[in-house]
A and B are shown apart, each in its own frame.
Chain A
Amino acid sequence: MSDWFSKLTGKTKSASEAKERLKFILIHDRTDINATALDEMKDEILQVISKHVTIDRSNVKITMVHDGREQRLIADIPIKKCVKR
């Protein structure tokens, strides 16, 4: 509830900003992968997959998430319907 309220009033509490920033900082510290390296990796993954199937690039989601103290790379890559030739 406080979330939508703070969005409505345009005021974010600094504690929630601290938490969001820390989430990203810790993922990068733990994996030693920065934002640029992650983008490069995403591109390469998509290139490989595109060799075999046609993917819907605009709806690709590849994110690093943390699960306890483990990091996980989650990829959601929609594949376009095959049009029979």
Chain B
Amino acid sequence: MAAKIITITSGKGGVGKTTATANISVALAQLGQKVVCIDSDIGLRNLDVVLGLENRIVYDLIDVIEGRCRIRQAMIKDKRYEGMYLIPAAQTRNKNAISPSDMIQMCNEIREETDWILIDSPAGIERGFKNAIAPAEEVLVITNPDVSAVRDADRIIGIIESEEKGPSKLIINRLNPEMVKRGKMLDAEDVLELLAVKLIGIVPEDERVLTSTNIGKPVVTHEKSTAGRAFRNIARRMMGDDIPLIDLEFKEGIFHRLSRIFNEGGE
């Protein structure tokens, strides 16, 4: 096997790159795939905590690149999900210690023994981002339905295009169907029309994303979570399954209906 190498990036920070990387990785593992996810956000490592693996770190990405350990020693095996591995970022090292060719070389080394390599990119358009996309065959750009996140996504899509990484695929994260319905949030179609790229998933806003991060267990493992379902669908689309996009008319609970009555009007 030769792994498919995917980088998840966004331009703007805080839109859900790490959450998406963790959830898509676990979803792929649950589909029987072998997955290595790499946190490339040097100095601001977080993929380990979202996955609940922070206490198992011995070696990190920079240790691998600087030859202090073998790459297999830095791969933390997640015992809860068969086939799931994490290479954590370094927390204290200088981020200039790593170059795009280091990333390519490292991915090549493990490529033959895994199905997927998922790289969590840092925010921004600088060196860390360039390192993260260097080995990628495909880039997933994640955005939220707000003006600044969409603007930054457009910028990053343009840069990825000019780096000849092929057309990016889009994940719209934290969409609130209630607000869309009331004309107070950009809907997925608006975002797609503006960015003009292919959509791979829409993830609804879901408080279980936070509660599951609290306990270090990605929301994708939660059967009932709408966000979890959306991430599972993204993983299946990546595997080539033809899954229709989740119907945006999510079931409306009685609480939402009541709060809507009281909150009519206002922007």
Question: Residues on B close to A: CB < 8 A?
Answer: 146-147, 150-151, 154-155, 157-158, 161, 180, 182-187, 190, 194-197, 267
Contacts and interface: CB of A to CB of B under 8 A. Distances in A.
Interface in A12-39: 13-16, 18-19, 21-23, 25-26, 29-30
A16 B186 CA distance: 7
B95 to A, nearest CB: 26
Contact of A25 (B151, B182, B190, B195): B151
Given A68-B196, A69-B196, A69-B197, A18 B146 contact: yes
A25 B194 CA distance: 10
A22 B147 contact: yes
Nearest to A69: B196
A29 B155 CA distance: 8
A15 B180 contact: yes
Contact of A15 (B155, B190, B197): B190
B189 to A, nearest CB: 10
A12 to B, nearest CB: 9
A2 B194 contact: no
Given A22-B194, A26-B194, A15 B154 contact: no
Given A23-B194, A29-B151, A69 B185 contact: no
A27 to B, nearest CB: 10
Contacts of B187: 15
Contacts of A29: 151, 154-155
B184 to A, nearest CB: 6
A26 B154 contact: yes
A77 B183 CA distance: 37
Given A26-B194, A68-B196, A69-B196, A15 B184 contact: yes
A66 B146 CA distance: 20
Contacts of A26: 151, 154, 194
Given A2-B183, A15-B185, A15-B190, A22 B157 contact: no
Contacts of B154: 26, 29-30
